[in-house]
Amino acid sequence: MLPSSTSHSRVLSLGEAELTARSDRKVDWSILMERAQAGDAEAYRRVLAEIAPYIRSLAAKWCREPDEVEEIVQDTLLTIHAVRQTYDPARPFGPWLAAITKRRIADRLRRSGLRRQRETPLTREHETFPGTQANNPVGAPARRALGLAINRLPIGQRQAIELLKLREMSLKEAAATTGMSIAALKVATHRGLKALRKLLAGDEVR
């Protein structure tokens, strides 16, 4: 019983000590801020330097990006500078500081939320170059293999594949261009595709 109650009281006293230290610090900040209102630059420098880590810890709960957290810290410091006459030393400093910090965090979250809605981050896939070949480096070997395979086809099949599949002509247009009948074109395309499949599969096996 005794050890547990001792450790419990230790935790309590630690908590109390921390609380007292924290409220003492806020009393200090309150005094420093009062001096800053009177124009004491050193007191002001001290209070701003001491509250910056506190603002940073509040901001870090909401934002992960270190840059964004730092921007919130700076926005909050600038706001404090602009509204320093609204602090009443008769009232606690903590809620005043926390309220201003929360405003700036909310602003930043709203702004970054809007930005996320409007913008998409640029990834490697979005990078593009004027040359058509350069845009698709992954597909290039496959295209070359296909070109070679088409070249190995008999002339009728090669023509049919090129006109109907690669240039995407209609059967009628292809028939007019080659002078072959539509039925012959269909047969040639069918055989050509079959042969290509065989050739490319053979390439893969090899």
Binding site for other proteins (CB under 8 A): 36-42, 44-45, 48-49, 52, 67, 70-71, 73-74, 77-79, 81-89, 91, 95-96, 99-100, 103
The nearer residue to other proteins, 47 or 160, going by C-beta atoms, is 47
For residue 142, the minimal CB distance to other proteins (Å) is: 46
The nearer residue to other proteins, 62 or 175, going by C-beta atoms, is 62
The nearer residue to other proteins, 78 or 176, going by C-beta atoms, is 78
For residue 80, the minimal CB distance to other proteins (Å) is: 9
For residue 51, the minimal CB distance to other proteins (Å) is: 10
Query: CB–CB of 195/151 below 8 Å?
Result: no
The nearer residue to other proteins, 29 or 87, going by C-beta atoms, is 87
For residue 60, the minimal CB distance to other proteins (Å) is: 14
For residue 129, the minimal CB distance to other proteins (Å) is: 32
The nearer residue to other proteins, 66 or 154, going by C-beta atoms, is 66
